[in-house]
Structure 1
Amino acid sequence: MKFAIALFSPPHSPAARRALRFAEAALAGGHEIVRLFLYQDGVHSASANIVAAQDELSVSEQWGQFISLHGLDGVVCIAAGLRRGVLDQQEANRYRRPAANLAAGWELSGLGQLHEASQQADRLVCFGGH
């Protein structure tokens, strides 16, 4: 089965951990992930500046390792990212911000990427949100 996964909640939330565990289980079960899409507060999982407390798991770091290890398509909604200060170098330059903070492995793109992923996948599985 092909899954598209959308995360709407920040990295310190139970939803972010559940999304990661679901993605790991999906691949372990022989399924495919066509895209991971971060939206709303989920975009914080793609920030290279997130630091988890020493006694907590770093879900942001785990997401980065996961997409790198499996060569997955990790997309961050550009509008949600800009509103929350998650920028790649191009956007940091465009808006004259002092630094980019988009973690390696992720790319900024439009909400159309979520729509496209939902068309390519058998199931769109969403985590978090209101």
Structure 2
Amino acid sequence: MKLGIMVNEGPFTHQASDTAYQFAKAAIEKGHQVMRVFFYYDGVNNANKLSEPQSDDRNLVKLWGELAKEHGVDLVVCVAASLRRGIKDDILADGFRISGLGQLIEVGLAADRTITFGD
């Protein structure tokens, strides 16, 4: 099954990002294709390479990047939401790219299912 995922919450304020990551990882392990993860609203904070979680905390920015590298998952960060939060190309973590809402529409049309995590 081809899947699209939208993440609307940041990595440190809500469970949604953790759940989305675990869902994507499990789906890939079961043989499904995660075509794209679109980060919107505060979800764009998942792409901020300047975040430094404590050593005993999970590092979702790094985990998302590894998922993209290992499995070819397209991690797209909404340009408008990013700019509102000061996230530009120079602080974008590895594996992420900035683009517009058209990328969300595209995956919504191409995927068998699109799942949203967060409010």
Q: Residues 67-94 of structure 1, C-alpha deviation per residue, up to 9 Å, x if partnerless? A: 1111111100000000011101xxxxxx
Aligned mates of 1:30, 1:11 — CA distance in 2: 26
Identify which of 86, 109, 114 aligns with 1:119: 109
| Aligned with 2:99 (options 100, 109, 114) | 109
1:69 and 2:59 correspond? no
Equivalent in the alignment of 1:4: 4
Q: CA deviation at 1:53?
A: 2.0
Residue of structure 2 equivalent to 1:23: 24
Identical residues among aligned pairs (%)? 42
Please tell me the residue identity of whatever aligns with 1:9.
E
Runs of 4+ in structure 1 displaced over 4 angstroms? none
**Following the alignment from structure 1 to structure 2, what is the Cα–Cα distance between the partners of residues 41 and 119?**
24
User: What is the alpha-carbon distance in structure 1 between the residues aligned to residue 28 and residue 118 of structure 2?
Assistant: 21
Equivalence for 2:55: 54
| Residues matched between the structures, number | 118
3-state SS of 1:21 partner: helix
State the alpha-carbon separation in 2 of the partners of residues 34 and 79 from structure 1.
Answer: 22
Give, as a single letter, the amino acid of the residue that structure 1 aligns with 2:110.
Answer: Q
Cα distance between partner residues in 2 of 1:48 and 1:35:
20
Separation in 2, partners of 1:82, 1:68: 25
RMSD: 0.8
- Structure whose alpha-carbon radius of gyration is higher: 1
